[in-house]
Structure formats: C-alpha cells, structure tokens
Amino acid sequence: MKWPAGFEPENSSVYARNEIPIDAPPERIWRWLVRAAKWPEWYSNSANVNFLRGNPPDLAPDSEFKWKTFGATVTSRVITFEPPHELGWDARGVLRAYHGWLIEPDGRGGCRVVTEECQNGLVPKIAGWYLRPMLERGHQNWVESLKRVAEVGDPS
C-alpha cells in the first residue's frame, strides 16, 4: 500500500485491514471500484456520492467527491490511481483518513483484494477502541459486496 505521509499504519490512531479472494479478473474488480457513483447500489454503507471534480460515474486521478459513509459526510480525493492494481483516496470530515485498495492476481484467473484504512485526528485518538472494529465490520461488508457483484459481471 502506498501510504501518504503521516497515514502509515504505525503512525495512525486507527488502522483496519480486510482481505478477500474474488473469482474475477483484476480489470473487472477495478471497474466496480472506480464506478463510485454506483457504490450505493451494491455497498450499503455508501450514499450520496457527488463528484466535486472529475467525470462521474468513474474515479480518476485527482477526482474529488463528497459522500456519506458510516453515517458521516466526508470529502475525498483520489490520491493513488494505478489501474487495475491500486486505488486510494483520502477522507476529510470529522477526522482525516486514507483508504486504499490492492488488487493482486492469484495466478488462477482470480484475485486477492485487500482494503486498508488509517485514521488520524482527535476523534480516532479518543474513540479508536470503537472505530477500529466498526471499520473492520463495514469494510468486510464492502469486500463481500464487491465479491458478489464482481463475480457476476461488469458494472453497467
């Protein structure tokens, strides 16, 4: 994972990691991940994705978007964009975060997908005991939902 300075796991108040095998090629998984405007259709913890900069419905380098996740409205900007293997964005709101994705081919036509998030600021420092398990549960839902849709086919 290409962590922005200050958001490496060892320098963050909260760190969460989830991983899942997906029986789909990396290009298809990538297409689902970058189609941010469609996240609310298949990932229940995402709502109101609005592009502030970029060309919806897909993320691109430096795309900026406002969205609701974990009950909070945040503004995010794509920082890492390496199709079809690594994607990452920051989050600014009641806390500061970096959320990254790795898509690694497994040599059998599928992939191992890893998502990691680091959070910093006063809220994660005080409530990390609560935020970390909440992130792990929410991101497990995200990777399982991604698996479900990517194994069926491409996004529309």
Please tell me the distance from the alpha carbon of residue 12 to that of residue 95, in angstroms, as a whole number.
12
Q: Into how many domains does the chain fold?
A: 1
Alpha-carbon distance 129 to 134, whole Å?
9
Its domain, for residue 50, covers 11-150
90, part of any domain? yes
Burial 48-64 (b: 16+ CB within 10 A, else e): ebebeebeeebbeeebb
Q: What is the distance between the terminal CA atoms of the chain, rounded to a whole angstrom?
A: 29
Domain annotation covers residue 1: no
Tokens 């806390």 belong to residue = 95
Report pLDDT digits (tens) over 96-105: 999 999 999 9
Tell me if 77 is assigned to some domain: yes
- Reference 36, options 77, 82, 93, 97; nearest CA is 77
In a domain, 4, yes or no: no
The verdict on residue 80 lying in a domain is yes
Please state the pTM of the whole predicted model. 0.96
pLDDT value at position 94? Answer: 87
The CATH number linked to 22 is: 3.30.530.20
The answer on pLDDT for 59 being more than 90 is yes
Kindly state the helix (H) or strand (E) to which residue 104 belongs, with its residue range: strand 96-105
Mean pLDDT for the stretch of residues 127-140: 97
In this structure, is residue 141 part of a structural domain?
yes
Residue 140, in any domain of the structure:
yes
**Residue 39 CB: number of other CB atoms within 10 A?**
21
DSSP string, 49-95: EEEEES-TTS--TT-EEEEEETTEEEEEEEEEEETTTEEEEEEESSS
For the cut 90, the answer to whether the pLDDT of residue 4 exceeds it is: yes
Assign 85 a pLDDT band (cuts: 50, 70, 90).
Answer: very high
- Residue 5 within a domain: no
